[in-house]
Chain A
Amino acid sequence: MIDYTFQQIVNALSAGSLYALMAVGLAMVFGILRLINFAHGDLMMISAYLAVFSLGAGLSLAAALPVIVIGTIIVGLLMERVAYRPIRGAPDVAMLLTSFAVGQILQNGTLLITRLAGKPTLIAFPSPDVLSGVVTFGSLTIPRVNIASFVSGIVLLGLLSVFVTRTTLGLSMRAAAEDLSAARLMGIKVNRVVATAFAIGAGLAAVAGLLYSIQAGQINPYMGFTPVLKAFIAAVIGGFGSITGAVLGGYVLGFLEVLVTSLAGIGDLLPAGSVPPEVKGFLQQWLPSGLASWRDAVVFVVLILVLLVRPQGIIGRRVREDEL
């Protein structure tokens, strides 16, 4: 039972790290521009395809990683420059619709390229050996990719935290998120700050995309949608627009999902005689194994509850109305 619990905690930390890595990118951009960038999920997809092509071309993971990350960052920066900068300051709905359009273009563009390269829509992901298989600690077996996800999450989010608290550019980014016109009055170059937010978000999405693809085992041009939706939920639960909130929301979401799946069918898992039969029967009745497939429904119910009880999220702040 302790092993089982520990295993689930590792799963939760791993899933939470991926959600947090994605949610942070959404939150940074939203904080400054009030833009909900649903095309952020497609950056994960771009990363996955760059990984397929670079790993498929025989590059080692160490050689492929810069290609994947830098390539995704370039796509993220182009997205901002070409699609979002011209409509900066437009009504929220216009920006939201633009982000869907950008997503469609990236998905269809990828589909076109894979067709031209003679590949199928669904591609098996060539997981690098270092990140495949499991590690065994005593009676615990943990997939390597889960450890990699957790470690990447902690390291990258730690670096991000240093960036936004210690560097002038990072502080400028937080200032711009808090009060854009006051930030401009300081002489902060808004274009540079926005581009930085997109670049960091894309870099983190690239890592998340790689790890997600290894876990999923296969990729397709539409794979970014569910993760970006989850990341959005994570960011809303934490407090949309706040970086800390996004990280917190990501891990809360990871734990919540794992809690639902691990409690499902727990009555059957308990060894005979470990609990009274009434308890076991109760658990079997109320936490049936079929509950696992209701995981996303439970997550959305929690989202609705958060929006009802605490619309600004766990640590969110109210948004100024008088910002220019």
Chain B
Amino acid sequence: MLELIDVHVRYGNIRALQGVSLRVQVGELVALIGSNGAGKSTILRTISGLLRPSQGAITFEGADLTTAATDRIVAMGISQCPEGRRIFGSLTVAENLRLGAVSRSDAAGIAADRAMVFELFPLLKERIDQPGGTLSGGEQQMLAIGRALMGRPRLLLLDEPSLGLAPLMVERIFGTIAELKRQGRTILLVEQNVHQALDVADRAYVVETGRITLEGDAGTLRHDPKVEQSYLGVGGVAL
């Protein structure tokens, strides 16, 4: 469905991605794991067209995304829920959701998806006319995920959805991710919370200094000695 082939991205002189290749199949939940600054978010930003590869290609269902504008990429069916939630604080919950569907024109479908989001997050329905900025961190994360779902994406990109949330809310968000997976959605998930990411994912890629260093089934990776040592805190000091 989504394929990145040898993608390079530069921030000025910094080589943020150095030949990343990965693929996501329909219905899969794929996790990108790795330490802070490894380039996981850069991969998602590049897929969404906020950053341009200096080399390499990105395709989505056969179409070339490499030079497509972000609004076109969203219209093609890729929504991103960005790191740090980035909800529009002065806009209400309803308005945030409305903008999530800005690339669509099917009023009935939009209304149905709004109902679906409220079913997934009943709390949002209670806060419907409240400015997004007045919501708690966890509620804002729910809104950010709901807003991304309003684009009716065929591929959902989730960037660090559990970052900065209280443990109970982290559980809640991973519960939601599992629920979205059960619904058959295709998800590319970036997480620092490696343990839980590997629990919920089908497959995963390990990203280190702008490269993919390891890939495989989530279950296999969980027992990989290198992953255990570096990211799961098993068997000594992480390098």
Contacts and interface: CB of A to CB of B under 8 A. Distances in A.
Contacts, number: 66
B95 A171 contact: yes
A159 interface: no
Contacts of B95: 171
A178 B90 contact: yes
Interface centre among A172, A182, A190 (most CB of B within 10 A): A182
A186 B50 contact: no
B75 interface: yes
Given A168-B102, A171-B95, A185 B88 contact: no
Size band of the interface chain B makes with A: 20 to 34
A185 B91 contact: no
Contact of B88 (A175, A184, A187, A324): A175
Contacts of A189: 71
A172 B99 contact: yes
A172 B86 contact: no
Contact of A179 (B70, B88, B103): B88
Interface in A153-190: 168, 171-172, 174-175, 178-179, 181-190
A190 B71 CA distance: 8
A185 B103 CA distance: 10
A322 to B, nearest CB: 8
Contact of B86 (A179, A188, A317): A179
Contacts of B74: 185-187
A187 B102 contact: yes
A174 B79 CA distance: 20
A178 B89 contact: yes
A9 to B, nearest CB: 31
Interface string B139-155: 00000000100010000
B86 A184 contact: no
Contacts of B70: 184-185, 187
B82 A186 contact: no
Interface in B107-150: 147
Contacts of A187: 70-71, 74-75, 79, 102-103, 151
B100 interface: yes
Interface of B: prevailing SS: loop
A168 B98 contact: yes
B222 to A, nearest CB: 31
Interface in A278-324: 317, 322, 324
Given A168-B98, A171-B99, A185 B90 contact: no
Given A174-B90, A178-B88, A179-B86, A185 B80 contact: yes
Interface of A: prevailing SS: helix
Contact of A186 (B49, B90, B102): B102
Nearest to A182: B86
B50 A324 contact: yes
B48 interface: yes
Nearest to A189: B71
Nearest to B72: A187
Nearest to A320: B86
Interface string A135-169: 00000000000000000000000000000000010
A202 B17 CA distance: 43
A172 B90 contact: no
B84 to A, nearest CB: 8
A80 B27 CA distance: 43
Given A168-B99, A182-B82, A324-B50, A188 B88 contact: no
Contact of A174 (B80, B84, B91, B151): B91
B81 to A, nearest CB: 8
A184 B71 contact: yes
A172 B50 contact: no
B89 A185 contact: no
A30 to B, nearest CB: 16
25 contacts: A168-B98, A168-B99, A168-B102, A171-B95, A171-B98, A171-B99, A172-B99, A172-B102, A174-B90, A174-B91, A178-B90, A179-B88, A181-B86, A182-B87, A182-B88, A184-B70, A185-B48, A185-B50, A185-B74, A185-B82, A185-B86, A187-B102, A188-B99, A190-B71, A322-B84
